[in-house]
Amino acid sequence: MSRVYNFSAGPSCLPEEVLNECAAEMLDYKGTGQSVMEMSHRSKAYEPIIQDAEAMVRKLMNVPENYKVLFLQGGGSTQFAMVAQNLGIRSGKAAYIETGVWAKKAAAEAKKLGVDVDVIASSKDKGYSYIPRVEKVEGDYDYVYICLNNTIMGTHYEYLPETGDIPLVADISSCVLSEPLDVSRFGMVFAGAQKNLAPAGVTLVVIREDLITDSPRAGTPTMLCYKTHADADSMYNTPPCYTIYVLGKVLHWIEKNGGAEGMLKRNREKADYLYNFLDSSDFYHATAEKGSRSLMNVPFLTKYSTGATDEASLAKEKEINDKFVKEAAAAGLVNLKGHRLVGGMRASIYNAMSLDGVKALVEFMKKFEAENK
């Protein structure tokens, strides 16, 4: 069976080289006679695996010494609560820049937990199709929160707001290690691993040590305290052992392919190829505004997505979108259905997606256009 090109927004495609390594070691990891899936997280065999994963995160992301690297569970969504409970403790106020679903959900969760949330900017006015410009943030805030790359809307920050002494917190789930990032500009970053780093199951947190408090907001469960996990080196409870093992292999693959700089070059080439085609087409168009476009997630519509709400127009739009997704899948291009909030299609072209995959998509799009004008 030949492998397909998987454009899923997450869980997403992994490097084939990594998958082959995992397959080769599935029944017998380095002569232990067991799979990593079966291994005790406190065994001498597993200890080097999680230590290597942390070392590679530090190396590839240039993590400063005064930051902790944590491997947690619960996905990025659990971080919405953990950020508020652990950082929103001085003034009890936080600033959020709302650029889509995930930033909006994070703000709502913080508000639910009693944090005084100030949405200081939003791109809701244009359906979150752009990143609002916030040059500087001042005020009595415990932290400033952004979502660096928006998986659903296909937008990405081309700048970072200046926050002075206020810690900047970023959800980098869908762009982690897709480009260089100056971690020292942030108080904390976090990423669900299932887009660029590993299968679903582990959440990477990189947090400055002075933000790890032993006095979170009242009622915070033990498992939702960063200090719990920092003190235990991510071993307070059983971590997602196999996912961390795969993550380590992906990190070595990234290093072999030029590190974060190499990923940026690779990803820019892929994204430029796809956006250039979309911008030159009379049949398709990208939904994100130029200057805010993601290198990772590219939502696009056809000419039949006109915004009309009459029954006939909506039926035609659905017919074309469904036909595109079905025929693309038959051609070996899968998981291209767009998110319901945007519609149309979405190509997620994370690190492991090859330029050949993007070229195959564009060739299919040309064929589909010719047959459905």
Mind telling me the catalytic residues?
Answer: 102, 171, 195
* Alpha helix stretches (DSSP H) within 142-258: 226-231, 241-256
Tokens of 15: 């490097």
Quick one: CA dihedral 24, 25, 30, 33, positive or negative?
A: negative
CB-CB neighbours of 227 under 10 Å: 16
Q: Dihedrals φ, ψ of 302, to 5°?
A: -100, 175
Greatest alpha-carbon span in the chain: 65
DSSP, collapsed to helix, strand or coil, labels residue 282 as coil
Report the alpha-carbon angle 119-161-145, nearest 5. 40
One-letter amino acid of 7 = F
Query: Is 130 in contact with 288 (CB distance < 8 Å)?
Result: yes
